[in-house]
Amino acid sequence: MKCAPWPEGKKLVHLDLKGAPPTVEYLHKLIELFSQLGVNGLLVEYEDMFPYEGELKLLQATTQPAYSPEEVLSMQEFAKSKGMEVIPLVQTFGHMEFLLKHQPLWSLREVPHCVGTLNPHKEEGVRLVMEMLRQVVALHPGLNTIHIGADEVYMLGEGEESKLWLASPGHTVEQLFLSHVTKVAKAIKEVWPYMTIIMWDDMMRGMSQDSLKASGLAGLVQPMLWDYTPNLDVDKTVSLLEKYWNAGISDLWAASSFKGSTTVHTCVPSTQRHVQNHLQWLKVAASLSAGINLKGIAITGWQRYDHLSVLCELMPVALPSLAACLQTLFHGEFSAEAQSKVTERLGISSVEMEAIERSPAVDSLFPGRRLAELIVELDSLVKSEDIRFFENNMFVRGWFSPYQRQRKMATPLITMQIHNQASNYLAMLQQKVEAVREEMVHLYPDSTAHEWIEEHVSPLMAPLQRITEDIEACMKEMVP
């Protein structure tokens, strides 16, 4: 069923820089493409890639250099030249891993074993949050909108100070959350009265309309309701947006996803899955009351589920998905015309990355295409059952089991066949890995290439390597 196109407003692409931060040159190419695809804003989540100074310098990444102030300004200027607003996202409550992982700041955690949640009772925590915001705002000339995060505030209320606070009559975890967010929002408004403040909505979903009204958040913040699933519940989502509206919060945002929301370790996204998510969001937009002001949609592209988790899909492999999702919003459906616009714009044969034919052409229409193709090839290889379950094949289990390896007693003829097969697989993987590494370092820091390979390929190469070494050691005992 065709819906109306997405309402007027911002179409933001989320740049999650807490993993695989693109080089500035590649960022500019991406921004150029985003502009051609109809994007008019960027939601930029810097985390440890922001050039924090002074007491916050310890927040900067150590595996690769953070962006310099000049690079941050260059990215903004280029985006603005393409008609895009840049909105920084600075976490202020949950997902504070990039701050709270540092030993000097451990005392600011809500509970010792939860690295992500800030203790809302410590004034030092609020002061550091405001200092982060001050430095980010200072490096974004003309900024008038900021996103303060506040999603997934795990273990809130479990800390000793929170338990004492909650022991007072009428105090609830909901109020604890609302009081911290309100405190931060009011502090922002005191320093920057003109600033529009966006925040994630998930911590407020279970709250009553009356609690939200009483919190004082109406007029202070604009909730961004996120749901990245292909089976998004339209009625439930509409009801949530209506609840916020009835609580006096009429300016609202949506957040969908084009990558980074399938599994924590996905390498190649399914375009159809993400398109389906946007089709559901179109139904939500078409069902809202007239009084709700849907300010726009952030199309998120998570690079990690959180600061300490593994890398999700890299940007190059997700560009067909992003283009398809945007065309879905523009057309109100993912029609043949929408698909055609994606394939023409990117110069590709299919909207699904895994089905795209290898092209010798320069990737001017599709920045990073060569890397995307190589990742798809390598991902297909590591997913093959012959490699993934090599240790479980009949010959390894029957003629070179752990028992036989330990005693160095095996049939030379069959074990040499196993050795040849494992060696061939290793050679194939190594060849693909080197091609990926060589291409990746043109677009990302060396540390990203190292991490991606260590996470996604090395665990499969290690058992093959062990088997070949064990066979060689065994043959010395068995063959003259």
> Each residue of 422-440: pLDDT tens digit?
889 999 999 999 999 999 9
Distance CA 269, CA 279 (A): 17
Active site residue 152: yes
- Higher pLDDT, residue 419 or 152: 152
pLDDT at 1 over 90: no
Kindly state the average pLDDT of the residues 439-448: 97
Catalytic residue among 53, 71, 131, 152: 152
User: What is the C-alpha to C-alpha distance for residues 44 and 51, in angstroms, rounded to an integer?
Assistant: 14
Residues whose CB falls within 8 Å of the CB of residue 153, separated by 6 or more in sequence, listed in order: 93, 94, 116, 117, 177, 203
- Contacts (Cβ under 8 Å, ≥6 apart) of 370: 363, 439
Q: How many residues does the chain have?
A: 480
Tell me: pLDDT of 363 over 70.
Answer: no
Distance CA 371, CA 358 (A): 11
Residue type, 284: V
The rounded distance, in Å, linking the Cα atoms of 312 and 67 is 21
Strand pairing partners for 426? none
Burial class (CB in 10 A: 0-12, 13-18, 19+), 398: exposed
85-129 confidence digits (pLDDT tens):
999 999 999 999 999 999 999 999 999 999 999 999 999 999 999
What kind of fold does domain 10-360 have according to CATH? TIM Barrel (3.20.20)
Nearest C-alpha neighbor of 327 from the set 344, 305, 309: 344
Residues 94, 148: contact at Cβ < 8 Å?
A: no
Residue type, 475: M
Question: Which of helix, strand or coil describes residue 94?
Answer: coil
pLDDT of 396 higher than 80: no
Q: Is residue 410 predicted with pLDDT exceeding 80?
A: no
The pLDDT confidence band at residue 155, using thresholds 50, 70 and 90, is: very high
pLDDT tens digits along 273-287: 999 999 999 999 999
**Cβ-based neighbour number of residue 1 at 10 Å:** 8
Question: Sorting pLDDT into bands at 50, 70 and 90, what band is 351?
Answer: very high
pTM for the model = 0.94
Pairing relationship of beta strands 293-301 and 10-16 according to DSSP bridges = parallel
Under the banding of pLDDT at 50, 70 and 90, the label for residue 217 is: very high
Look up tokens 């909105």; give the residue.
87
| pLDDT the model gives residue 361 | 66
pLDDT tens-digit readout, 36-55: 999 999 999 999 999 999 99
327 close to 341: Cβ distance less than 8 angstroms: yes
Give the residue with greater pLDDT, 167 vs 422: 167
279, two tokens:
């089709």
Question: How is 107-145 classified by DSSP, letter by letter?
Answer: GGBSSTT-SS-B-TT-HHHHHHHHHHHHHHHHTSTT--E
pLDDT at 407: 78
∠395-401-402 over CA atoms, to 5°? 155
